[in-house]
Structure 1
Amino acid sequence: MLTYFFTLPTALAVALVALGAACTCGAILWALLRTGMAWRLATDIPNDRSLHAAPTPRVGGWGIVPVAVAATLLLAPSLWYAALGTAFLAAISQIDDRRGLPARVRFAAHLIAVVGLVILFPANAPWWVLVILAFLMLWLVNLYNFMDGADGLAGGMAMFGFAGYAAGALLSDHPLPELMWSATAISGAAVGFLLFNFHPARIFLGDAGSISLGFLAGALGYWGWRGGVWPVWFPILVFAPFIADASITLARRLVRGEKFWQAHREHYYQRMVRSGIGHARTALTWYGLMVAGIMLALVALGRSVIFQSCVLAVWIAVLGAAGLFVELRWRRFQSTLSDN
C-alpha cells in the first residue's frame, strides 16, 4: 500500500497527505464539539488578561496531536522520537489544561523531551553547540505556548511554518522525504484545526496543542539541520514572527522584573487586537509576514553565505519596522483612552 502511494507524483502525494490530515483533525474536533466532550475535557474561562469574552473549549491538541503522531510514525518512522515526545508532552499538557500543574513540573517535561532528542540523535557538532540548540528548542516549546492567545494565530503559524519545512525538505540540495511527509501532515492537521479556530473561534489550541506544536517545530528544525537539509538559520527564519514577538516581550518583562511565565496582554499580537485591528485582521497580517519570511528562507537555501546574511539582515529590519508600527499604534490608542 505504502509502496504504491509513494509512486504517485510528489505534488499529488503531498496534497493527499495534507488533505487527509486536515479532514481527520477536523472530524475529531467536530465530533468533540458535537458530543459536548470538548467542554468536559478542558475549557478556557475568560479573565482580565484574555482577548475573548466567552468560555471556549481548549481541545485543539486532541485533533492535531493524534494526526501528527500517527502520520509521523507511519510516513516518517525515522522521526519516531519526535512523535513519541509529542505524545508525552501532549499528555502532560492535557493534565495542565484540565487541572493545572506547577511550572517546574511542566518545564521538567519539556526538558526531558528536548534533551532526550539531542542525546539519542546527536548531531556532528561540538557539545556546546548542542547545548545552545537544546536551549533554543526549549524556548520554542514555551514561546509557542505564549503566542497562543488570538483566534487563528498559532494555528495559522503551524499551517504555514510546517508547510515551509515541507517545502525546504523537498527543495533542499539534500532533500529528506520523511521530514517532508511529517511536516506536510502537521501542516494539514493545522488546517483542520483552523476550521474551528479562525475568528470567531469555537475551539482553542490549549497547552496540549501549543506545547506539542512548539516541540515539533524545534524537533523537525533540529532534524533538518542535523541531516544537512538546511542551515541552522532556516527554522528561525521560518518562525521568525513568533520568535521575535515572544523574545522581545520576554526581554521587556525581565528588565521590569516581572514574572515572565504569568499570563499577560503585552505581546505585539495582543496589542494589535486590543487597539482595534481585531482577531481576523491580526491573524491575516501575521500570515502575510509568515509567508514572506518562508519565501525568503526558501530562496536563500543553497545560496552563498553573503546572500543568506543579507536576507537575514533585511528580514530583521522588516520585523523591527513592523514592531515599531505596532508600538506607535498602541501608544496612540492608549493616549486616546486617557483623553476620554
Structure 2
Amino acid sequence: MNLMLILTGFIVLFLAELLYFKIAGRFNIIDQPNHRSSHSNVTLRGGGIIFSIALLLYPLYFGFEYGYFLLGLGIISFISFVDDIKPVSNKIRIAFHLIAVALLFYQLDLFNLSIFWIILALILVIGSINAINFMDGINGITGSYALITLCTLLYVNIYIVEFVTTDLLITSIISVLVFNYFNFRKKAKCFAGDVGSVGIAFIILFFLLLVVIKTEDFSYLLFLLLYGLDTITTIFFRLIRKENIFEAHRSHFYQYWANEKKIPHLAISAIYASAQLAINALIIFWMPHTIFIFFLFLIFTTIIFLVCRFAVEGSTRLIGD
C-alpha cells in the first residue's frame, strides 16, 4: 500500500467516523455514566464501528480474499452495534457470536483439525473476545492496546513471516489511528462501544490465529498477555469473593487505578500499551519460541502480576475479609 493510498484511506475513514457521529447524535446513541462507570461525562457510543467499516470496505479495492472472515466480522459487529443501542438477550448475542466464529474457523480451515483443537480454539476466541470487551472501560485503552498489537503483527508479517496480506493489516491500523484521534484524549469525543471492542477483538484474533497456524508457534498469543492477565485474575478474585462474574463490575486492575487511585485514564492506557509493547519485543527478539518457554513465561508473568495486584490493591479488596 503506497503513501497516497494510505492517506486516502485515512481521509475516507476520518470522514466516515464524522458521519457516524452525526448519526449517533441524531439517534441518541450515547454512553450514560452509572455507578459502575469509570467516566463521568455523557459521550457518544460506538465510535469503534470504524474498525469494522474499514475492513468491510477493504474488498472494494483489494478484492474478497478473506470473504468468510469479513462476513463473520460483519455479523458480530452487527449484533454488537444493536446491543450498543438496545440490550440484546444473551442467547441471541451468543448465537450471533458462534455463527461469526464458525465463519472465522472456516476461513482458517480449523474445522479440518481434531475436535480437541476446535474446542480449544473456540474457548480461546470466545474468551479473548470477552476479555478485550471487558477491558474497554477508560479513554484510550482499547485504541492504544490495539495499535500496539496490530503494529507488532505488521512487523512480524514484514520481517519474520508473512501470514496475511500486508494491506489488510495496514487498513486495520489506519482505522485504529482514526479512532484514537477521537478517543485518546482527556475528554473523549466517543467510546468504542461493544461494536468497537468486540470488532477489534475479532480482527486481532484473526491475525493472531493466522500467524500461529502459519508458524505453529503459540508464543504469538502472548501479544494479548496483559489483557489476559487482568481479566483472568479479576475473574479468579471475584469467584473467591463469591460474586456473580456475569454482572458488570469495577474490579479490574486498571479500574482500580482509574477509580480508587484517580490516575488519569490516558496515563493508565499508555502504561498498559507500553507494557505490552515491551512484552512483544521480548517475545520477538529474545524469547526462545518453544512450548516449554511459553508456559514458563506465562507462569512467571502471572506470578508477577498477582504480586503487583496484592501489593497495590491489598488482600482485603482482592479476596475479601
TM over 0.5: yes
Question: Judging changes above 3 Å, is the alpha-carbon distance between structure 1 residues 41 and 316 closer, same or farther for their aligned structure 2 residues?
Answer: farther
After TM superposition, the structure 1 = structure 2 runs for residues 3-42 of structure 1, keeping only pairs within 5 Å, are 13=2, 19-33=7-21, 35=22, 37-38=24-25, 40=27, 42=29
Which consecutive aligned stretches of 4+ in structure 1 deviate over 6 angstroms post-superposition?
Answer: none
CA distance in 1, matches of 2:243, 2:289: 42
**Please, which of 91, 95, 99 is the counterpart of residue 82 of structure 2?**
95
Structure 1 segments unaligned to the other structure (5+ residues): 6-12, 335-340
Q: 2:265 aligns with which of 279, 287, 294?
A: 279
Determine which of 115, 131, 134 is the counterpart of 2:122: 134
| Matching residue of 1:168 | 156
Aligned equivalent of 2:277: 291
Q: Normalized against structure 2, the TM-score is what?
A: 0.87
The answer for the alignment partner of 1:202 in structure 2 is 189
Match of 2:312 in 1: 329
Deviation at 1:317, TM superposition (A): 3.2
- SS of 1:158's partner is helix
1:251 corresponds to: 236
**What is the CA-CA distance between 1:154 and the residue it aligns to?**
0.8
Query: What's the counterpart of residue 210 of structure 2?
Result: 223
The one-letter code matched in structure 1 to 2:254 is Y
Q: Which residue of 1 aligns with 2:143?
A: 155
Give, in whole Å, the separation in 2 of the partners of 1:39 and 1:193: 20
Q: Letter of the 1:172 partner, please give it.
A: I
- CA deviations 1:114-170 (Å, max 9, x no partner) are 123224542464331122012100111111111110110011111111112222222
Task: Please state whether the residue corresponding to 1:245 is helix, strand or coil.
Answer: helix
Per-residue deviation, 1:267: 0.5
Deviation track 1:70-101 (CA, whole Å, cap 9, x = no partner) reads: 22664473322222211111111111110111
In the alignment, is the contact (CA less than 8 A) between 2:77 and 2:199 conserved in 1?
yes
Kept after mapping to 2: 8 A contact 1:44/1:56: yes
Q: Quick one: structure 1 residues 113 and 330, their matched pair in 2 at CA, closer, same or farther if it must change by over 3 Å?
A: same
Which secondary structure does the structure 1 equivalent of 2:304 belong to?
Answer: helix
CA contact (8 A) 1:25 1:193 kept: no
Which is worse superposed, 247-256 or 207-216? 247-256
How far apart are the structure 2 equivalents of 1:268 and 1:23?
A: 36
Return the letter of the residue paired with 2:97.
Answer: H
Compared with structure 1, are the counterparts of its residues 265 and 16 closer, same or farther at alpha carbon in structure 2 (3 Å cutoff)?
farther
Matched residues, percent identical?
A: 21
- Could you tell me the TM-score, scaled by structure 1's length? 0.82
Distance across 1 between alignment mates of 2:57 and 2:23:
25
Cα distance in 2 for partners of 1:21, 1:258 equals: 45
Judged with a 3 Å threshold, the aligned counterparts in structure 2 of structure 1 residues 304 and 265 are, in CA distance, closer, same or farther, namely closer
Unaligned runs of 5+ in 2: none
- How far, CA to CA, are the matches of 2:211 and 2:104 in structure 1? 13
Q: How many residues align?
A: 314
Q: Secondary structure at the match of 2:275?
A: helix
The question of 1:238 aligning with 2:223 is answered yes
In 2, the alpha carbon distance for the partners of 1:164 and 1:156 equals 12
CA gap 1:230/1:92 in 2 versus in 1, 3 angstroms: same
* Alignment RMSD (CA, Å): 2.7
Equivalent residue, structure 2, for 1:337: none
- Verify: 1:190 aligned to 2:176, yes or no: yes
Q: Distance in 2 between matches of 1:17 and 1:332?
A: 53
**Aligned pair in 2 of structure 1 residues 72, 127: CA closer, same or farther (>3 Å)?**
farther
